[in-house]
Amino acid sequence: MTTSNDEKWINKKISRRDMLKLTSIGAAGVAIGASGFGGVMKAMGYDVFEPVADSKTTINKIDFYGRHQSGIITPVQTHIYFASLNVLVTSKQELQELFKKWTPLVVRLMNGELMVDLTTNTRVPTGDTGEAEGLDASNLSITFGVGPSLFEKLGMSHLKPKELEDLPHFPKDQLQEAFTGGDLCIQACADDPQVAFHAVRNLVRAASGKVEIKWSQAGFNSFPATGGTPRNLFAFKDGTVNPSITDAKDLNEVVWVDKGWLKGGSYLVAREIQMHLETWDRTSLKDQEATFGRYRDSGAAFGKTKEFDDFEVEAKDEKGEYIMPDISHVHLARKSGARMLRRSYSYASGVMTNTGAHDAGLLFVSFQKDPAQFTAVQNSLGRMDKMNEYVTHRGSAVFACFPGVQKGSYLGEALFNAL
């Protein structure tokens, strides 16, 4: 006997009594075809996975379905809302059901729709909080990842990739629990801050009792009118040396995992980096540039004239001295030999209550096929990085981001199929 796609996603076993009810409903003349088998099952209280398609008419739309999740090699949007979550579910089945529930909701959000249609019954809470009503899709991308702690919590240690470990403590780290770790992450990026926030708010709301936010951070980027690399709050271009998001060979070498249930996915590293703007603002431009190893205006490396001019990290002048200071940020990062895809955003969150200084900085986000790539760079920077005088690393997390989703599938299916 063959089964329809809707029937395949029924998560509860149908009792003989319920099957008889179904038969009698059909006999009574209910047009099952109108609402679909899934609609009838849903009305009877069963959890049914109902796929939603990417819209072909929505403007400023990023597709959900594909080989890889959106928000990794998607062109960088102007806003992010990043949330690290703790899970409250206690079983693998509950977690699987949560991702099945989230999947069609994410597609609708990325279609520029409300997550669910608003009810006309004013006596009950609405299914969507509504603050994105009337806004377009704003190139919304939503990316999900799972942290190392999740596998221990739910008895899935045998499926945790060996690469997925909490990052080590690096020199000068001053990590705060409030900005560190998490079982899951949701990265929502869009060209409208309200669209990004709305997505995370409503996905967490839909998972009430199953997850809770551990920490979150909103961020922003601004791009020159003529295009080009955005500047961070130190006014230097951020993200110059990145793999090309259109170079499949480069991305396979740097970004995409090529084995196991995570094949086609990537590892996300998030770091909350406070930037001490008041100290920076009292520093001469010459010293600022020496800290980075790049000229502020052009973004070019020392000894070069254009932002993307390549350079030899060990190059010396006629006096035998490094052209780029050997304790500069760029010199030490390049010396590590490791590469990753950076997708960072600035943030400004008011002032520090104890000092009155700006609570502002960089939500550093990078994607790589192995977190060891990030570790190599951070270890190279070490205690020598001149940038350490102006920043404090206060948050840290690492997540394994699922492969992409094909229509009819759901987020994280490869993981649950491996159980």
Band (pLDDT 50/70/90 cuts) for residue 315 is very high
User: Are both 38 and 101 inside the same structural domain?
Assistant: no
Band (pLDDT 50/70/90 cuts) for residue 40 is very low
Examine the pLDDT at 13 and tell me if it is beyond 60. Answer: no
* pLDDT at residue 403, as a whole number: 98
Examine the pLDDT at 37 and tell me if it is beyond 70. Answer: no
Instruction: Report pLDDT digits (tens) over 178-189.
Output: 999 999 999 999
User: Are both 17 and 110 inside the same structural domain?
Assistant: no
- Mean residue pLDDT across the chain: 89
User: Are both 87 and 15 inside the same structural domain?
Assistant: no
Band (pLDDT 50/70/90 cuts) for residue 388 is very high
Q: Taking residues 369-389, report their average pLDDT.
A: 97
Q: Is residue 48 in a domain?
A: no
User: Are both 171 and 37 inside the same structural domain?
Assistant: no
* pLDDT at residue 123, as a whole number: 85
Q: Is residue 55 in a domain?
A: no
Q: Which of 28-32, 74-78, 222-226, 240-244 has the lowest mean pLDDT?
A: 28-32
Examine the pLDDT at 14 and tell me if it is beyond 80. Answer: no
* pLDDT at residue 8, as a whole number: 41
User: Are both 196 and 120 inside the same structural domain?
Assistant: yes
Q: Taking residues 159-182, report their average pLDDT.
A: 96
- CA–CA gap between residue 70 and residue 164 (Å, rounded): 21
- CA–CA gap between residue 307 and residue 299 (Å, rounded): 5
* pLDDT at residue 237, as a whole number: 95
Domain count for the chain: 2
Examine the pLDDT at 112 and tell me if it is beyond 70. Answer: yes
* pLDDT at residue 49, as a whole number: 64
Q: Taking residues 373-400, report their average pLDDT.
A: 97
Q: Is residue 309 in a domain?
A: yes
Higher pLDDT, 113 or 239: 113
* pLDDT at residue 353, as a whole number: 81
User: Are both 196 and 325 inside the same structural domain?
Assistant: yes
User: Are both 37 and 84 inside the same structural domain?
Assistant: no
Band (pLDDT 50/70/90 cuts) for residue 2 is very low
- List the domain range (segments joined by +) for residue 13: 5-43
Q: Is residue 330 in a domain?
A: yes
User: Are both 34 and 183 inside the same structural domain?
Assistant: no
User: Are both 138 and 10 inside the same structural domain?
Assistant: no
User: Are both 264 and 344 inside the same structural domain?
Assistant: yes
User: Are both 112 and 28 inside the same structural domain?
Assistant: no
Higher pLDDT, 68 or 120: 68
User: Are both 171 and 98 inside the same structural domain?
Assistant: yes
